[in-house]
Amino acid sequence: MNNFQGIPDLSATASSRRPVSPCIGVCEIDTASGFCRGCARSSDEIAIWSRAPDDLLRKITAVLPARRAQLGIKIARLDWDEEEIGRFMRDTLRPGKGRWVFGIDGAFGEFAIGAGEQPEVKNALTVATHAGAVRLRLPEKLRAFAWEEGEAIVMALPRGRLQPPAGVTLAAAGPDQGAIREGDRDALAFELGFGSPVARFFIRTNDPALQRRLQVLEGKPWQQALAEAGSEIREGSADRIILTSIGRMEIYSPSATSDHRAQESARTQLSPEAIAGGQEMPAEIELPKAYAPCAIFYPAR
């Protein structure tokens, strides 16, 4: 069993392979319990991990949830290899499974497939609805973390594997050739430029007036761009695109559909005050400093 609430039990395949290391880069031994404050293993268990037999590692893995509760540890690396992470991703792209969140604090998108929706399946890791679309990928060294025993699943990479931060001014990116829907590939995209290494935020539009407005603001700081064109971006015919190391999320213009339920299943937020705070994650979730968040999945309850 995975010992986490709200996420698939992948124990069938986990039992046939060597458990992954639960280390999360927080290597401090709690003197009272003798367990690590990051992974909840003892010093001896950490020392033998690389050479211990698989059965022993599974026994250690099975007792870690109780130790984490004892130590008050809220985040843990899931015992998933790349194949299992991929299977989890595919499972989430079905109706009623939960919602994906891409972006940073103050500039993010949310995408979910409602229980009654019929998404257009592009491939196993790419789906689209009337309200938005998501394309997932599996970069090397991707890790899955569970927050509060599965209330949220954080996909993360070691910080050394991130791309350099984006610029901090609005920049024209040309036609969006990477668009998930073929009909969107001639629309012009503009990067807002929040300077984050974990997510890039774009506005995409076919509206000539909004295109001209954004072209005039090219090279201006994102704060100025949002101050002068924020209302047109939020209320006009502009799609929002968020790119991270594990894929692309597209949230379509609210005016593109009159279905209120569809609009609720895919939305974005642009809050200059929160963006300026420079936080990568929602305040309620803490990821070890050695890792950078790529996306968060909130399982349906």
Do 143 and 81 touch, CB atoms closer than 8 A?
no
Work out the angle at residue 243's Cα, subtended by the Cα atoms of residues 97 and 230, and round it to the nearest 5 degrees.
100
pLDDT at 139 over 90: yes
First CA to last CA distance, the chain: 19
pLDDT at 1: 39
- Identify the burial level of 269 via C-beta atoms within 10 angstroms of its C-beta, where 0-12 means exposed, 13-18 middle and 19 or more buried: middle
The predicted-structure confidence for 202-244, as pLDDT tens digits, reads as follows 999 999 999 999 999 999 999 999 999 988 888 778 999 999 9
Computed over every residue of the chain, the mean pLDDT equals: 91
Most distant CA atoms of the chain, gap in Å: 66
DSSP bridge partners of 238: 205
The predicted-structure confidence for 250-274, as pLDDT tens digits, reads as follows 999 875 444 545 456 899 999 999 9
